[in-house]
Structure 1
Amino acid sequence: MTDPSPSDVALELERLRGVVEAGFARIDGSLALLVQRSDQTDRQLADHEQRLDALERSRWPLPSILALVAVAGLALTLWQLANP
């Protein structure tokens, strides 16, 4: 087996450096895409939280109104029974 010449070693190191740079660029692009998707998910989650809060706020008086209507109906029924 012969010793590789310095130019062969330099060429091989240059090729290896190119492969490593390409790999890092690909990983960097993948990470940027993941960060973008994470940001989109965070925005969607915040939007859903706001919409859910709005629905909960608009719904809270319904049980109270229902209870008042029931009490009024009971009072009206009792009044009609008491005054034939």
Structure 2
Amino acid sequence: MTSPDPGVYISPAQTYQGVRGLSKAVHRIEAKIDGVLNETKNLRDDVADHEARIRALERARWPVPTIGVLAGVAGAATGAVSLFAR
């Protein structure tokens, strides 16, 4: 008959050290996650700022084609007036 395997004995001090190491690792991960969340907030702010700038540029751009059309109409009207004025 063989004797039973006594197994592995882990002392309370070793368990405590393991738990402390795990706690430190969790704190490091939490700090990294906080940093990533702060950076994504900054990115969201940047995207919102860029979106607002693009919208402002799009709104400011509409008069350019309108001015071109008005200049064309004015030129055609001037040409018509000079043609009929003869």
TM range (shorter): 0.7 to 0.9
**1:82 corresponds to which letter in structure 2?**
F
Runs ≥4 in structure 1, deviation > 3 angstroms? Answer: 1-5
Root mean square deviation of aligned Cα? 1.8
**1:56 corresponds to which letter in structure 2?**
E
Partner deviation per Cα, 1:36-63 (whole Å, 9 max, x = no partner) = 0011001101111111111111111211
Match of 1:27 in 2: 29
Match of 2:72 in 1: 70
Q: How many residues align?
A: 82
Task: Give, in whole Å, the separation in 2 of the partners of 1:43 and 1:49.
Answer: 10
Q: TM-score normalised to the size of structure 1?
A: 0.85
Task: Give, in whole Å, the separation in 1 of the partners of 2:8 and 2:48.
Answer: 61
The offset of 1:3, in angstroms, is 6.8
Instruction: Report percent identity of matched pairs.
Output: 27
Unaligned runs of 5+ in 2: none
More helix by share: 1
Unaligned runs of 5+ in 1: none
Q: TM-score normalised to the size of structure 2?
A: 0.83
